[in-house]
Structure 1
Amino acid sequence: MQKKLKLWDATMLVMGSMIGSGIFIVSSDMMRNLGSGYWLIVVWVITGIMTVAAAISYGELSAMFPKAGGQYTYITEIFGKMTGFLYGWGLFAVIQTGTIAAVAMAFGKFTAYLIPALNDSAPIFQSGTFRITWVQILAIVVILLLTFINTRGVKNGKLLQNLFTTSKILALLGIILFGFLLIKDSNWTQNMSFGWSGFQNFGREVGNDLVSTGWQPISGVTLLGGIAAAMVGSVFSSVAWENVTFVSGEIENPKKNVVKSMVLGTIVVMVLYMLVNFVYLNALDRDGIAFADKNRPAVAASEVIFGNLGTVIMAVLVMISTFGCINGLVLAGARVFQTMAKDGLFFRSATENNRFDVPEKSLWMQGIWACVLALSGQYGDLLDMISFVIVLFYMITVFGVIYLRIKKPEIVRPYKTWLYPLTPVLYLIIGTAFCVLLIWFKPQYTWPGFLLILLGLPVYWFINRRKIS
């Protein structure tokens, strides 16, 4: 593959893939689980530590295996083809394609703020609870458009990624700046007055709105469960940085630039996320965050900052953010499926590059399945189920750093994990606590996703039936 991506391009891919729609939405559910500005900040700090620690740990593997496929390649090299396939299976079935579908739907929904006719029009088709809307059609059009653009070469995808990522970072910085300069009546003191006391309030549906049913104090193990439940949102908003490892084969000097882009990109994004939540805590009271209209605290805060124009400003910002995020996910994901195909674990035609030196068939396979998920309307439920599995695969990969240090100390390591073994161990401790608490308090977020991944086992055995016999 041609080395067409520089350090700046790789960093933009990291940041652009991370910043989608999550940061504009998830803080509402997080506040309902935590009920305190202190704990909201703590959860984002924990998530930031986890994310950067994982990126630092992945750096060692990216320097050892500087080729396309990234995390799939690391898992396969360390733990064998079956484990690598299960990761790739999950990536194609839900993780990558489901995220593309979810972010594309967020693009469609925020576009409907500017074009109300999209929301107000009758469904194109409806049968029982299943329906096809114009928002879904718009989401599919965006997925297909960005897939097509990326089939025209890495350069096109790179330019689009750099443009939209730079735009949304500047826009976020603007929101952060004005979120403190233009607020006359700050809610910061009130939100922080709850101190280290935790509260939960899941609310109830009244029409199309979620309203408060009263805050209930929580402490001890129950508070830990609230933290784990809140982290589902913050973790979902902070994944996809590893997408840059998928395109290692197209990055200049990947042994150095992949780890630099991951560490720099994750640090900058997590700082931005923290500052955005400071804006929420400054502009809105506790109920304003927890029960923002349609779980969109960013829109509520923007209306306080900019008045009636705030809705339009935030809708445009989210459209820019989600468009760039989809592009990064589309660009990177197809490289994994191409690498799997070369290993005999995916459709053989996915191995081929077109005349623009990109895996066109792999891109279209990914794009079409993402469209199916968007059309089904099940992407949200699937992503809720798979969040637990995403963290498990992160943990498996981070553990691989320690495993290789013990089993194969002689391997040349162009880059070594900073503060080893503290960094990977810290991630594994936090990740384990998160997973255990989710299993305990929110089993609906755990076992369905785990079963979905295990469904890949018969597929793997079917693919390898001749080799086994």
Structure 2
Amino acid sequence: RTGRTGPDPGRVTLKKEIGLLSACTIIIGNIIGSGIFISPKGVLEHSGSVGLALVVWVLGGCIAALGSLCYAELGVTIPKSGGDYSYVTEIFGGLMGFLLLWSAVLIMYPTTLAVIALTFSSYVLQPVFPNCVPPYMATRMLSATCLLLLTWVNCSSVRMATRIQDVFTVGKLMALGLIIVVGLVQICNGNYEALTPQVAFSMERTPSVGQIALAFLQASFAFSGWNFLNYVTEEVVEPRRNLPRAIYISIPLVTFVYTLTNIAYFSSMSPEELLSSNAVAVTFGEKLLGMFSVIMPISVALSTFGGINGYLFTSSRLCFSGAREGHLPSLLAMIHYKNCTPIPALLVCCAATIVILCIGETHNLINYVSFINYLSYGVTIAGLLYYRWKKPNLYRPIKVNLLVPVCYLMFWALLLGFSLYSEPVVCGVGLVIMLTGVPVYFLGVHWKEKPKCIYTFIERATYVGQRLCFVVFPQFDPIEIATPSEWTDRKMYKLF
């Protein structure tokens, strides 16, 4: 039996099973992971006041919305899975695309997955160890178990993985809804002194521009994931219609929820209490929910569980796309002959994350991840402008106003410039991580005349991997992979 999609039941290919609802839950589920439960402390610490912290959260959502509009155009103009990597490779060539892929596979996504998994295990174990920090080994073991379970789910069925994403996205929205409702009740009871303009914008020290930039980087970690639907474009039903619709629904909803959640935190906790808390949602629940405070760690655990599933689902497609372009071993471009899931790519993502978990403390890497994230966003959106200039007559089903990418890039340049000035070591390490991919590219990809023994080893390893995972190369419909200039549907949507 083979995977069956489309008119030809004999083709083994990625299944188009992501409708509009699942597309929205992929975006929302990837954005709302551990960030909203970790980043409020960092945003407040760097911004210096409650009022400015709320402004950073709102502007962070607006910037994500500008970026997502640009990605909507890129996603339907270059209809490939792989997101940023596929677009940068198409526009700027193999080296630039490989550097982005290298930093993402090596550090960005494994570290983010590790942080979310550790947050999950910490909140699950919090009721078991109420008076102390959960043991190091216990958190690592539970995190690894969760990763292995969800990797098995994603290897077994795309439908099962997307259904888990749907359910847990609803669950995490309900958890944040509980926080918001309790906070609004506090405000209605008159507990809003910290939110009045006189108090909210009062600060003992005026933050520098560099500190505000770091506050935005912390908020960006909470908003990261807004571009993840672009990683699975080839599995979206009617991507030209559903991809932009999902973006327009999801980003404003998440911004609204994040802002109200932070207002709820500040309605019940002083800035000092929030800064001293290692688990903001748990502290919030202990203050206001009494005997029902156990709901909060359970809710956060459910939220992060869904976040792990979403990151595994999308980051594995990045490895799949990289292998298909010849930038990673070809085994990673293969899918299960029956389930039509990229099992080798999923196993690599899981293994890389477990290695990061074993290395030690990962929370210090959040700033590195945020910096690399923002760097890749900026390069991709700069590519949109370059592509407009390079191929002005290329058919674009969606075309955003030029002011949208220009405004995003202006903010992006200011943010990265001040981040480099304020935290040169953090940003420097991020750049070094990315640039280590240059020799790897020239040795592994550009150098075609390798010794025969290397090719023999690769062929044998690929053969063994195929036998172990029951995977084959997917087959593609020529209509689906036609170049944009060959499309006959000339309907165009102009945005702003």
User: TM-score with structure 1 length normalisation?
Assistant: 0.89
Q: How does 1:119-268 map to 2 (within 5 A)?
A: 133-182=137-186, 186-194=190-198, 199=203, 216-218=204-206, 222-268=207-253
Q: Distance in 2 between matches of 1:39 and 1:349?
A: 49
Number of residue-to-residue matches in the alignment: 436
User: What residue is the counterpart of 1:2 in the other structure?
Assistant: 15
Name the CA distance, whole Å, in 2 between partners of 1:462 and 1:233: 36
CA distances 1:87-114 after superposition (whole Å, capped 9, x unpaired): 1111111111111111000001001112
Match of 1:290 among 275, 279, 291: 275
Q: 1:63 aligns with which of 61, 73, 76?
A: 76
1:377 aligned to 2:377? no
Give the Cα–Cα distance (whole angstroms) in 2 for the partners of residues 265 and 94 of structure 1. Answer: 26
- CA shift in 2, pair 1:112/1:375, >3 Å: same
The reply to whether residue 334 of structure 1 matches residue 316 of structure 2 is yes
Who is 1:28 aligned against? Answer: 41
Following TM superposition, by how much is the alpha carbon of 1:187 offset from its aligned partner in structure 2, in angstroms?
A: 4.7
Letter in 1 for 2:436: L
The structural deviation recorded for 1:186 is 4.8
| Distance in 1 of aligned mates of 2:376 and 2:370 | 10
With over 3 angstroms needed to count, the CA separation of the structure-2 counterparts of 1:357 and 1:24, relative to structure 1, is same
Partner Cα distance (1:24, 1:217) in 2: 25
Could you tell me which residue of structure 2 aligns to residue 313 of structure 1?
295
Aligned twin of 1:411: 394
Residue 349 of structure 1 is matched in structure 2 by 331
Call closer, same or farther: CA 1:70–1:33 in 2, change over 3 Å.
closer
Whether the 8 Å CA contact 1:118–1:135 is kept in 2: the answer is: no
Cα displacement (A) at 1:401 = 1.7
Query: Which amino acid counterpart does residue 415 of structure 2 have in structure 1?
Result: F
Deviations along 1:359-416, one digit per CA (max 9) or x if unpaired, are 1011001101101101112432333223112101101111122111122111100111
* Structure-2 change in CA distance of 1:120 and 1:440 (3 Å): closer
Determine the C-alpha separation between the residues in 2 that align with 1:371 and 1:69: 23
**1:19 touches 1:325 (CA, 8 Å); kept in 2?**
yes
Contact 1:74–1:397, Cα closer than 8 Å, also in 2: yes
**Is the partner of 1:416 in helix, strand or coil?**
strand
Contact 1:36 1:192 in 2 (8 A): no
Q: Distance in 2 between matches of 1:185 and 1:240?
A: 36
Partner of 1:447: 428
- Aligned twin of 2:466: none
Residue aligning to 1:207? none
2:112 to 85, 93, 99: 99
Structure 1 residue 322 and structure 2 residue 304: aligned? yes
- Cα 1:85/1:180, change in 2 over 3 Å: same
**Is 437-446 or 376-385 further displaced after alignment?**
376-385
What is the distance in 1 between the residues matched to 2:15 and 2:326? 23
- How many angstroms does 1:37 deviate by? 1.9
Mapped contact 2:186–2:267 kept (Cα < 8 A) = no
- Where 2:410 maps in the other structure, the secondary structure is helix
CA distance in 2, matches of 1:187, 1:459: 57
2:410 to 421, 424, 429: 429
Query: SS in structure 1 opposite 2:205?
Result: strand
For 1:353, the aligned partner's letter is I
Give the corresponding residue for 1:129.
none
The aligned residue for residue 398 of structure 1 is: 381
| Structure number with larger C-alpha Rg | 2
Write the distance in 1 (CA, Å) between the matches of 2:295 and 2:398. Answer: 42
What CA RMSD, in Å, does the superposition of the two structures yield over aligned residues? 2.0
- Measured after TM superposition, the shift of residue 76 of structure 1 is 0.6
| Structure 1 residues 393 and 323, CA gap change in structure 2 (3 angstroms) | same
Q: Deviations over 1:282-320 (max 9, x none)?
A: 1112212222x22x322222223212432x121011101
Tell whether the 8 Å contact from 1:387 to 1:445 is kept in structure 2 after alignment.
Answer: no
User: Shift in Å at residue 341 of structure 1?
Assistant: 0.8
Displacement, 1:172?
A: 1.3
- Which deviations, in whole Å up to 9, do the C-alpha atoms of 1:315-370 show, x marking residues without a partner? 01110100000000001111111111111110221111002001101100110110
